């Protein structure tokens, strides 16, 4: 089973309580640990978390820095926990706009957990389905026929996915919105 979660509404939650948006993001990040562990216990094979969309670059610079600081901290602290639970980490999305230090940290977490088999934890960072689909089309201009499995392989390569993901069985959006926001179209 593949569960996908659009992690949404943390900043609004904090703002509604007269707290800084970053407080909401930290609270949301803490809940990720609970969600990952529960998914693994329930036998979920793939969990995809939409952590940072390509559109999120438009947020205030301080908020973007705070989100990436949280992401770095989580990779540093949770990679070992994932290893202990045999959870494979895979960060999907663009990497060309991420700093070299963060890319090295992502590579380290992915390599360290590469042999884990209990669950695949996919974290979508600087991710856009539309951009991924366009990139696949640009990479295959001479191919007249692309079947579904070949297309999914190309899409996985564009997204830095370790393998094509199974179809999503359940999509959850935590903030109450009812739209996909360019996630796993």
Residues known to be catalytic: 8, 56
- Strand segments, DSSP code E, in 35-169 are 46-53, 87-92, 119-127
CB burial of 23-37 (b: ≥16 within 10 Å; e: otherwise) equals: bbbbebbeebeebbe
Residue among 50, 117, 45 at smallest CA distance from 88:
117
Distance CA 63, CA 54 (A): 14
Distance CA 36, CA 119 (A): 9
Reduced DSSP (H G I as helix, E B as strand, rest coil) percent helix, strand, coil of the chain, to 5? 50, 15, 35
Q: Are 70 and 30 in contact (CB under 8 A)?
A: no
């Amino acid at each position: 089973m593949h569960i996908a979660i659009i992690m949404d509404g943390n900043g609004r939650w904090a703002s509604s309580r007269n707290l800084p948006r970053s407080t909401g993001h930290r609270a949301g990040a803490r809940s990720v640990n609970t969600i990952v562990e529960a998914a693994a216990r329930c036998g979920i094979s793939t969990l995809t978390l939409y952590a940072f969309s390509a559109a999120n670059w438009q947020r205030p610079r301080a908020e973007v820095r705070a989100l990436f600081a949280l992401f770095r901290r989580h990779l540093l602290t949770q990679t070992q926990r994932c290893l202990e639970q045999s959870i494979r980490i895979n960060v999907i999305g663009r990497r060309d706009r991420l700093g070299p230090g963060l890319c090295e940290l992502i590579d380290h977490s992915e390599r360290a957990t590469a042999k884990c088999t209990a669950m695949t934890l996919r974290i979508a960072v600087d991710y856009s389905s539309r951009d991924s689909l366009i990139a696949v089309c640009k990479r295959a201009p001479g191919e007249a026929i692309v079947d579904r499995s070949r297309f999914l392989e190309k899409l996985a390569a564009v997204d830095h996915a370790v393998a094509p993901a199974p179809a999503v069985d359940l999509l959850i959006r935590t903030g109450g919105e009812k739209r996909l926001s360019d996630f796993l179209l």
